[in-house]
Structure 1
Amino acid sequence: MNLGALLVGTMIFCFPFLYGDSYHSLSEILTHPQSYSFVFLILLIFLKPLASSLTLGAGGDGGVFAPSIVAGAFLGFTFALFCNTFFGTSLIYLNFVLVGAAATLSASIDAPFTALFLVCNLVPNGYALFFPILIGCIISKNLAKRILPYNVYTYHLKSQVKAS
């Protein structure tokens, strides 16, 4: 048995929210925002990309778009929930979900406008948040470039060039 598949299966058994593209999990969290602890949400933020990476590494099917969007959406939601809980703000969860989703996707694929238009089309009237999403996409892309000059599509090319 493949070790990656075993690890992903164990993760999904412990955290069913990781199964599939996780859009249903995100919808469930948005419907009942106060029902989940910060620890659980932070675990989802880190475990979703890990589960996707293990799936791809183990030879499974998967992609970059959905895991990036979902991890960023969980991150945006967690930030808004944190601010609402501890600072008494009244932030709208969906706004931060959309900005987080677009920013994470922009950073991972190095394409801020692709992320912007993709996320704006996820919900009705998504373009009402055009400028906040655009700012998040540009900041995250530039920050990601400073940390690692490669994106998910060009990282493997770096190792092939060094091997030659």
Structure 2
Amino acid sequence: MEGKTHIVGGIAAGALYLKSGGSIDQEVLFFTSCIAGALLPDICSPTSTIGRMIPLLDRLVSKTFGHRTITHSLFILLIAFMIFKMTPWPEAIEWGIWIGMVSHLVLDAFTVKGIQFLWPLKIRVGIPGGIKTGGTVEKGFLSLLTLFIVYAGYQIYLK
């Protein structure tokens, strides 16, 4: 998926969390963290949105592990969760980053290449056929996520 789809997907996942009864005190910080978390797994790709922001780290991770391996796995989600439990970061940041990362992995699992969710096992997890990154189906999916955000925002804040 493209960066813009991951950004919108992170916001949508955060909205789903709030709509499902989750509560966060600092919502601006929460949604900003959802966006950061949604971009973070692509640190393994020099051409990604976050990869262009942190050019040395992206190349190091890419050369060491490859694309959609460790940064797209259950392992990295568990590491992030443990880091959050050992540090005094605000709950809005912890939950936002973690929810954004999960949204990224779910979205990339829908792509043609899928993800190595069980890294270091080389098993790819995805759906048969998959969505072509940047293709028409992804653009339609981006539109649906955007509509969900509008709907959830109305339900959470205006109803």
- Normalising by structure 1, what TM-score? 0.30
Kindly indicate which of the two structures has a greater share of residues assigned to helix. Answer: 1
Report the structure number with the largest CA radius of gyration. Answer: 1
- Normalising by structure 2, what TM-score? 0.31
State the structure with bigger RCO (CA 8 A, min sep 6), 1 or 2.
2
